[in-house]
Amino acid sequence: MRLLFFLFFAFMLFAADINQTLIQGDSKLYRQLLNQISKQKQTNEDTSLQKALLKKLIDLEKSSAKIKPPKLSPPKKEGDLLELIDTYIDVAKQKQVLIQTIDTLDDKLDVLRSQIAGLENNATNLNDLELQYAFYVKEKALAQKKSRYAR
Protein backbone atom coordinates (compact mmCIF):
# COMPACT_ATOMS: atom_id res chain seq x y z
CA MET A 1 0.00 0.00 0.00
CA ARG A 2 2.84 2.40 0.81
CA LEU A 3 4.47 1.59 -2.49
CA LEU A 4 1.28 2.45 -4.35
CA PHE A 5 0.99 5.70 -2.41
CA PHE A 6 4.63 6.56 -3.18
CA LEU A 7 4.21 5.78 -6.89
CA PHE A 8 1.13 7.98 -7.09
CA PHE A 9 2.97 10.99 -5.65
CA ALA A 10 6.06 10.30 -7.74
CA PHE A 11 3.87 10.29 -10.84
CA MET A 12 2.31 13.60 -9.81
CA LEU A 13 5.75 15.19 -9.44
CA PHE A 14 6.72 14.30 -12.99
CA ALA A 15 3.39 15.22 -14.55
CA ALA A 16 3.27 18.29 -16.76
CA ASP A 17 1.59 21.48 -15.61
CA ILE A 18 -0.55 23.71 -17.79
CA ASN A 19 1.40 26.69 -19.12
CA GLN A 20 -0.38 29.72 -17.65
CA THR A 21 1.60 32.11 -19.86
CA LEU A 22 -0.22 30.81 -22.92
CA ILE A 23 -3.59 31.20 -21.24
CA GLN A 24 -2.93 34.74 -20.03
CA GLY A 25 -1.11 35.76 -23.21
CA ASP A 26 -2.24 38.30 -25.75
CA SER A 27 -1.94 38.54 -29.52
CA LYS A 28 1.58 39.99 -29.21
CA LEU A 29 2.82 36.86 -27.41
CA TYR A 30 1.07 34.60 -29.91
CA ARG A 31 2.64 36.48 -32.84
CA GLN A 32 6.10 36.09 -31.26
CA LEU A 33 5.55 32.36 -30.83
CA LEU A 34 4.25 32.10 -34.39
CA ASN A 35 7.38 33.87 -35.69
CA GLN A 36 9.62 31.51 -33.70
CA ILE A 37 7.86 28.46 -35.10
CA SER A 38 7.93 29.90 -38.63
CA LYS A 39 11.70 30.39 -38.40
CA GLN A 40 12.26 26.69 -37.74
CA LYS A 41 13.61 24.97 -40.81
CA GLN A 42 11.90 21.64 -40.30
CA THR A 43 8.14 21.60 -40.65
CA ASN A 44 6.06 18.65 -39.54
CA GLU A 45 2.51 18.01 -38.41
CA ASP A 46 3.21 19.35 -34.92
CA THR A 47 4.52 22.69 -36.14
CA SER A 48 1.66 23.01 -38.63
CA LEU A 49 -0.84 22.37 -35.83
CA GLN A 50 0.92 24.86 -33.57
CA LYS A 51 0.87 27.51 -36.30
CA ALA A 52 -2.84 26.94 -36.89
CA LEU A 53 -3.63 27.15 -33.16
CA LEU A 54 -1.58 30.33 -32.74
CA LYS A 55 -3.37 31.93 -35.71
CA LYS A 56 -6.71 30.97 -34.16
CA LEU A 57 -5.64 32.46 -30.83
CA ILE A 58 -4.66 35.72 -32.57
CA ASP A 59 -8.02 35.83 -34.40
CA LEU A 60 -9.86 35.08 -31.16
CA GLU A 61 -8.11 38.00 -29.46
CA LYS A 62 -9.21 40.29 -32.30
CA SER A 63 -12.82 39.14 -32.19
CA SER A 64 -13.10 39.51 -28.42
CA ALA A 65 -12.43 43.23 -28.79
CA LYS A 66 -15.41 43.64 -31.15
CA ILE A 67 -18.21 42.45 -28.86
CA LYS A 68 -20.99 44.98 -28.46
CA PRO A 69 -24.20 44.58 -26.49
CA PRO A 70 -27.46 44.54 -28.44
CA LYS A 71 -29.28 47.84 -28.71
CA LEU A 72 -32.39 47.59 -26.59
CA SER A 73 -34.14 50.92 -26.20
CA PRO A 74 -37.65 51.57 -24.91
CA PRO A 75 -40.22 51.43 -27.72
CA LYS A 76 -41.73 54.70 -28.88
CA LYS A 77 -44.35 53.26 -31.20
CA GLU A 78 -46.03 49.92 -31.84
CA GLY A 79 -43.59 48.84 -34.57
CA ASP A 80 -40.69 49.43 -32.21
CA LEU A 81 -42.30 47.13 -29.64
CA LEU A 82 -42.53 44.26 -32.14
CA GLU A 83 -38.93 44.83 -33.18
CA LEU A 84 -37.85 44.86 -29.53
CA ILE A 85 -39.66 41.57 -28.90
CA ASP A 86 -37.97 39.99 -31.95
CA THR A 87 -34.59 41.23 -30.73
CA TYR A 88 -35.25 39.85 -27.26
CA ILE A 89 -36.19 36.43 -28.69
CA ASP A 90 -33.03 36.38 -30.84
CA VAL A 91 -30.89 37.31 -27.84
CA ALA A 92 -32.51 34.57 -25.73
CA LYS A 93 -31.78 31.99 -28.46
CA GLN A 94 -28.18 33.19 -28.73
CA LYS A 95 -27.78 32.90 -24.96
CA GLN A 96 -29.02 29.30 -25.01
CA VAL A 97 -26.53 28.42 -27.76
CA LEU A 98 -23.74 30.13 -25.80
CA ILE A 99 -24.60 28.17 -22.66
CA GLN A 100 -24.38 24.92 -24.63
CA THR A 101 -21.07 26.07 -26.14
CA ILE A 102 -19.67 26.84 -22.69
CA ASP A 103 -20.69 23.38 -21.44
CA THR A 104 -19.01 21.74 -24.44
CA LEU A 105 -15.86 23.79 -23.90
CA ASP A 106 -15.81 22.77 -20.22
CA ASP A 107 -15.86 19.13 -21.29
CA LYS A 108 -13.02 19.69 -23.76
CA LEU A 109 -10.98 21.52 -21.12
CA ASP A 110 -11.46 18.66 -18.66
CA VAL A 111 -10.21 16.14 -21.22
CA LEU A 112 -7.20 18.28 -22.14
CA ARG A 113 -6.40 18.95 -18.48
CA SER A 114 -6.30 15.23 -17.74
CA GLN A 115 -4.22 14.53 -20.87
CA ILE A 116 -1.69 17.21 -19.93
CA ALA A 117 -1.51 15.99 -16.34
CA GLY A 118 -0.79 12.48 -17.64
CA LEU A 119 2.20 13.63 -19.69
CA GLU A 120 5.75 14.26 -18.63
CA ASN A 121 7.27 17.73 -18.98
CA ASN A 122 9.29 16.74 -22.05
CA ALA A 123 6.51 14.98 -23.98
CA THR A 124 6.48 15.70 -27.69
CA ASN A 125 2.84 16.75 -27.96
CA LEU A 126 2.76 18.82 -24.76
CA ASN A 127 2.98 22.12 -26.68
CA ASP A 128 0.10 21.10 -28.94
CA LEU A 129 -2.11 20.21 -25.99
CA GLU A 130 -1.20 23.40 -24.11
CA LEU A 131 -2.04 25.53 -27.14
CA GLN A 132 -5.35 23.72 -27.55
CA TYR A 133 -6.06 24.25 -23.87
CA ALA A 134 -5.25 27.98 -24.14
CA PHE A 135 -7.49 28.27 -27.21
CA TYR A 136 -10.44 26.63 -25.45
CA VAL A 137 -9.95 28.77 -22.33
CA LYS A 138 -9.97 31.93 -24.46
CA GLU A 139 -12.95 30.70 -26.48
CA LYS A 140 -14.86 29.94 -23.28
CA ALA A 141 -14.07 33.41 -21.90
CA LEU A 142 -15.35 34.95 -25.13
CA ALA A 143 -18.56 32.89 -24.98
CA GLN A 144 -19.07 33.91 -21.35
CA LYS A 145 -18.55 37.56 -22.27
CA LYS A 146 -21.09 37.27 -25.09
CA SER A 147 -23.59 35.52 -22.82
CA ARG A 148 -23.41 38.39 -20.33
CA TYR A 149 -24.68 40.71 -23.05
CA ALA A 150 -27.42 38.25 -23.98
CA ARG A 151 -29.65 38.76 -20.95
- Reported as a single tens digit per residue, the pLDDT across 76-133 is 887 788 888 888 898 889 899 999 999 999 999 999 999 988 888 777 788 899 999 9
3 state SS of 110: helix
- Reported as a single tens digit per residue, the pLDDT across 46-65 is 788 889 999 999 998 888 77
Cα gap 24→20, rounded to integer Å: 6
Which pLDDT value is given to residue 19? Answer: 77
Which residues contact residue 127 at a Cβ distance below 8 angstroms, ignoring those fewer than 6 apart? Answer: 46, 50
Q: What pTM, to 2 d.p., does this model score? A: 0.77
- Burial grade of 132 (CB within 10 A; 0-12, 13-18, 19 or more): buried
Which pLDDT value is given to residue 3? Answer: 42
Cα gap 73→133, rounded to integer Å: 39
